[in-house]
Structure 1
Amino acid sequence: MGHLWLVLLLLLGAASLWIATALCRKPQDYAQLRDQLNTLFYRQRLREIDEDEEQGVVTEKTELITALQHSLLSDIPDHAPKAVKLGGRWVLLPVILVLIAVSVAMYLKTGGILQQMELSQVQQDYPQLRARLMDPNAEHLTMGELQQFALGLRATLQDEPNNVEDWAMLGRLGMVLNNSQLASQSFQRALHLAPNDANLKTDYAEVLVRSPDPQDNRQAQLLLQDMRVKYPQDTRLLTLLAADLYAQQKYSEAIRYWQQLLPSLAIGSPQREAIEKGIEQAKTNAGLQTSQLMLTIDLSTSAKRMLPENGVLYISVTDGVSPLPVAVKRVPLSHFPLNLVLDDSNAMVPERLLSAQHQLQVRARISRDGSAKPQKDDWFGLSSVTQFSGNQSLSVIIDQQEP
């Protein structure tokens, strides 16, 4: 940084000196310079005439010299030039200041000084950020700090381009920061240095699986299939294979790999539940879903006497723990008892399917004006929390009123 400023100041000084010299030159100096040039030209021309006479090229030497003298005299002005007053040397100060301002502005715009300052600050903070990241008991880095750390790590790798561990770390940072290009390029560099590292291959495959580019997905499939020959029971490989097949809408193959994983996962573990939901969603997408909840809705005697003419029946199914519905159905009032069927097509969100639940609770409410929000004195019924096996029947009696 200091060298850049030194060069800039030297250039500005040289330019300012040149301007000052040109503006401060007196008219007499220009006249003297002209006379010197004319004299040199006259003498050179005389030598050429003498050489031409010796060679017999010219025969009228006297006339040529006379004409040359007339030409020299014609270049001398009749009156000496008047001195031009420039108003003193201080008149140059604005010119020099403008030159400096323009030069500095152009450098700030194109010279990258702000980026250099930011990089310098990142390099100063990098050791402390790395220490925090490597310490499991330290405060976690924010997303902004992770971006700073990634920038500092890239700068460090310019000096240590063969550091496999740091290239792998930069690739994982790219995944965390959702920067697929950074992650992919970093893992490629790491694999170039350690081509047989199975963990690096798996990390790189995960980047390719996450990519929205179908070509990357196909490359991931080839890489994972090759690795599965060597590591047939690797849980992470099977998970990535299933996810990649699911992304390519090959649902039956994805289900097959997920089902291979289930025996090795503890019942009730978050990973097992996620895989079970993935299987059910894949079945739904492939048209293989057979899970159903058969409901019978009836009214108490009191509810029948107060049944509104234009009411709407809302049915919501939860997992008995979270109030967020797993499935919802809206039907106009008709005769009771009412029989209906709910399945994954009634799911509120694709991530929480009815078929993936292990227990259910059903709530049926009659809205007098069709409002989805419960209102005072609306009649409703609530079932107990019941284990769900995938094909089940439940009965709900509407016998209570909203307080």
Structure 2
Amino acid sequence: MTLFWIASIVLIALSGVMIALPFIKKKENNDAALRDELNKALYKDRLSELEEETEEGLVENQQELIDDLKQSLLDDIPSEKHVSESAALNPWVVIVPSMLLTIAMSYGLYAKFGAADDVAQWQQVSSNLPALSKKLMSPEGAALSDDEMQDLTLALRTRLHVEPKDATGWLLLGRIALANRDIDTAIGAMNKAYTLKNDDPDIMLGYAQALMLSQDPVDQDTARATLGKLVQRNYMDVRVFSLLAFDAYERKDFAAAVRYWSIMQQMIGPQDERYEMLGRSIENAQKQMGIAPSDAKSVSVSINLAPQVTASPDAALIVSVHNADGSPVPVAAARYPLGTFPRTVVLDDGNSMMQGQKLSQLEGYVVRVRIDNDGNVATKEGDWYGESSAAKMGEAVEVTIDKQY
């Protein structure tokens, strides 16, 4: 607001200068002096004409005409009283009321039509952008009210107008648009964020999420490709696989949907309330495939890490299911990023390794878990591992990694 008042005062001051300028700056020419000079010139011209006419005999009494001419010259001189009254006019009598009228009309019209309250609210909202952004990004982000969402949108648009290369700002604007189901705005904002920072996983995920809601097949293909890049980079976020599962189910690729939902179950574990919901989704997809739920058996493995175990963050977690007789050849296996512990993974027939033998056909089994440090499954030196006790199909098992090759 300080800038507004300074600008308005400057503009009014300029208006005052324009009003006062004609009164303060006197004319260089003087009307009375010009009139006298003109009368003198006319008088001299007329004297010359009278002399010529007298010489030609056209004028009998030259002196009388000259006297009349002088009298006419004197009659054209204004009175001193009139001149003094004109000179006595004070220009400030006009300037001061004009300035007051200008100030009153300017601020009066702005108060009536200038939306001063809206401007003040806009500036206050812009100043609250950091707090609103922090609240949106926090786990309680859903607690933002509709008014706060509108304020945040306004503040973000203002900031992005000034800083159009703020990728995080575009990401936030896209998320708000997604929450409001404004697909066009979401795609536009996410696209700008992705253009500015196409290697940021959060931006890639947001961009894919927006494109998934588009009705354009090209946009949906781009979304799948973007999600595929995240999976290749081992970006283990439940939202990635949720989008992939939803997309696969919509395309009637039920096998892929089951695979993605199973991965989600592995990531969140049975203790999460979403686990059962995902199980129902898997059963529904399997029904669409003609597979009875009772035939779809899986192995749930809870994995813990002993205190003495150390592993590189780039290491891989290899989980294998073997026949209960201790056969070294796995019936099913899966490889995961190391992640955090404790954690739970679930293996099913999709992880089967042997042709003609499915995991669900086992009556009993043991589970072995290994931390592969060098990325080569064939080498075991220095790797940590653990093994479960024998269990029957349908029973969950626990494995503690506490031994080293």
Q: TM-score range by the shorter chain?
A: 0.3 to 0.5
Q: TM-score, normalised by structure 1?
A: 0.43
